[in-house]
Amino acid sequence: MEPVWLKHYPQGIPAEVDTFRFTSLREMFAQSCGRFREHPAFTNMGVAMTYGDLDRFSRDFSAYLQQVLGLRKGERVAIMLPNLLQYPVALFGALRAGLIVVNVNPLYTPRELQYQLADSGAVAIVVLENFAHTLQEVIGATAVRHVITTQVGDMFPPMRAQLVNFVIKWIKRMVVHWDLPGAIAFNTALKLGAAHALVDVELGHTDIAFLQYTGGTTGLAKGAILTHGNMVANVEQTSAWIGATLKEGEEVIVTPLPLYHIFALTANLLTFVKWGANNILITNPRDIPRFVQELKKNRFTAITGVNTLFNLLLHEPGFKSVKKANAGALKVSVAGGMSVQRSVAEGWQQMMRLPLIEGYGLTEASPIVCVNPLDAKTFSGKIGIPIPSTRVEIRNEEGCELPLNEMGEICVQGPQVMRGYWNMPEETARVLSADGWLRTGDIGMMDERGYIQFIDRHKDIIVVSGFKVYPAEVEEVAMMHPGVKEVGAVGAPDEKSGEVVKVYVVKKDTALTAESLIAHCKANLTAYKVPKHVEFREKLPKSPIGKILRRKLKEEQVT
């Protein structure tokens, strides 16, 4: 089918982009640092870091990794940080040395962290001190041999750094005691690196930039192999889309979503670094009152988030003052990661006098695939049209393209599509064809204008505030409890987060309680994966071969 969406592109947006404009993310970064040297690049808790600062600090960190630790091109470095100034320094430092970045959720349980570090083969890790105790539990079962620890205020001016770090450690007691022999402080690493030269390594489009972990219906997290070419392409595609609305060197974007998540990594950090923008990093967006206070202090032109975050902002009493303080500045608001509810989109537009622009992507596509035009006047209820240099088809179960307005699997082809899954050739072959078509596992349909409507997620995946939860993983953890005989996990509707996890359980021990099972899950799962509801049953619906039918359990919730 011809790309019908091209006829409906906003004026000035090309059908194709030059995906070879930069040989690597390192080259793109270097250009921005040269062009916008005196401009603020990142701001966190009122402290700004210029592009010149970022260039210098990341160079020093890169030299430390390369010359002091002796890491070589292609080795993996894990980054286990929330949104702090240290994150872009560590990220670009690793990329400049030709290393592969493995983004890690700081809230992982020991079990989850061990799997990801072991699977990726990471040999070094940058970790916030608050989470070092988790690393301590599992480091012996991984290939990690270098640990760089940091504190929240380490990139702040000296007096403020001391105060912030003291409060977090000794007043708020947010740092659990840890012991990692040989660990080195982040600032010490910068000082050591500053004394060494950085040797350039050859980098091109085929070199791997990230192992970005995502889940699957098997419950095992998979490392999507994203090359420099993939990421450069998606940045260029996104840049073409926003080019008529935003201006280089002038934008301020609010970044509340974690940078370790592919959405914020590409849409906020990489794209807006290319544009010479200032990223306002929100370290804890769940503290909505403090988040609102931060918004009031900064006149921002762009913001990204998920449906639940925008909904929380709209219901925060102090948010009206943000509208007043930011009057006339906001140019674009983008939502992704999960479906946008119409009530939230309409509430946002009424409050901010600007529509909420919905997009669609997935880790395996770096991630951006579709987005609505930025000049849209109202919320469309659709996930948009394919961005430049991207093909999208709706296919049936046999892999044949379907006519317009028929429901099927969303399939994607483009330069942003991953190389495959790390060390998982069978999983790669299942979703990625020889000619580069990616099966997303998501169900949708395309209309006459090329706009795509997202219908539902493939099979049983649960989405909690934009984060995917895989039932098999929840079930595996629940079955570790000695009182559980059988369990099925599904998504249950929730006003705040879209969905929450619900488990149906057949008891092995009649004394088993919902509270004890939830406590067990909390010890082994990140918070958003923990079941919020437990229902006990005498038996669970099963297929003829004995497989628990989650679909039947989910259907029971709406009948």
How does pLDDT run across 92-102, given as a tens digit for each residue? 999 999 999 99
Across the chain, mean pLDDT equals 94
- CA-CA-CA-CA dihedral for 46, 47, 51, 55, to nearest 10: -150
Residue 551: its pLDDT value, please? Answer: 79
pLDDT, tens only, 179-208: 999 999 999 999 999 999 999 999 999 999
Residue 304: its pLDDT value, please? Answer: 96
Q: What is the 3-state secondary structure (H, E, C) of 453-509?
A: EEEEECCCCEEECCEEECHHHHHHHHHCCCCEEEEEEEEEEECCCEEEEEEEEEECC
**Weakest mean pLDDT among 132-146, 305-319, 385-399, 489-503:** 305-319
Amino acid identity, residue 441?
G
Ramachandran category for residue 304: left, alpha or beta (phi over 0 → left; psi -120 to 50 → alpha): beta
Are 548 and 540 in contact by the 8 Å Cβ rule? The answer is yes
Expressed in percent and rounded to 5, the helix, strand and coil fractions of the chain are 35, 25, 40
Are 253 and 272 in contact by the 8 Å Cβ rule? The answer is yes
pLDDT, tens only, 413-437: 999 999 999 999 999 999 999 999 9
Of the chain, the percentage scoring pLDDT greater than 90 comes to 84
Residue 261: its pLDDT value, please? Answer: 92
Q: What phi, psi does 40 have (nearest 5°)?
A: -65, 135
| Residue of higher predicted confidence among 550 and 157 | 157
Are 100 and 76 in contact by the 8 Å Cβ rule? The answer is yes
Rounded Cα–Cα distance for residues 110 and 114 (Å) = 6
Query: Count of residues for the chain?
Result: 559
pLDDT, tens only, 462-477: 999 989 888 878 988 9
* Strands 533-536, 498-507: pairing kind: parallel
Cα dist from 543 to 549, 550, 552, whole Å:
6, 10, 10
Nearest C-alpha neighbor of 277 from the set 39, 92, 88: 39
Residue 1: its pLDDT value, please? Answer: 75
Amino acid identity, residue 452?
I
CA-angle at 473, arms to 551 and 214, nearest 5°: 100
Helices (H) and strands (E) in the chain, counts: 18, 26
How many alpha carbons fall within 13 Å on the CB side of residue 65? 35
Q: What is the pTM of this model?
A: 0.87
Structural domains for the chain: 1-24+228-456 (3.40.50.12780), 44-203 (3.40.50.980), 462-556 (3.30.300.30)
Alpha-helix runs per DSSP H in 315-444: 319-325, 342-352, 425-431
Residue 473: its pLDDT value, please? Answer: 85
**Weakest mean pLDDT among 55-59, 69-73, 215-219, 515-519:** 215-219
Where residue 544 falls among pLDDT bands split at 50, 70, 90? very low
The pLDDT of residue 217 is above 50: no
* Strands 146-150, 100-103: pairing kind: unpaired
Nearest C-alpha neighbor of 103 from the set 209, 244, 252: 209
Structure tokens belonging to residue 51:
């592009």
Nearest C-alpha neighbor of 196 from the set 50, 323, 385, 70: 70
Rounded Cα–Cα distance for residues 160 and 142 (Å) = 35
Are 190 and 341 in contact by the 8 Å Cβ rule? The answer is no
Are 461 and 217 in contact by the 8 Å Cβ rule? The answer is yes
Local structure of residue 67 (DSSP, 8 states): I
**Weakest mean pLDDT among 168-177, 263-272, 387-396, 462-471:** 462-471
**Helix H or strand E segment including 537:** none
Peptide bond connecting 367 to the previous residue in cis, omega within 30 degrees of 0: yes
Where residue 142 falls among pLDDT bands split at 50, 70, 90? very high
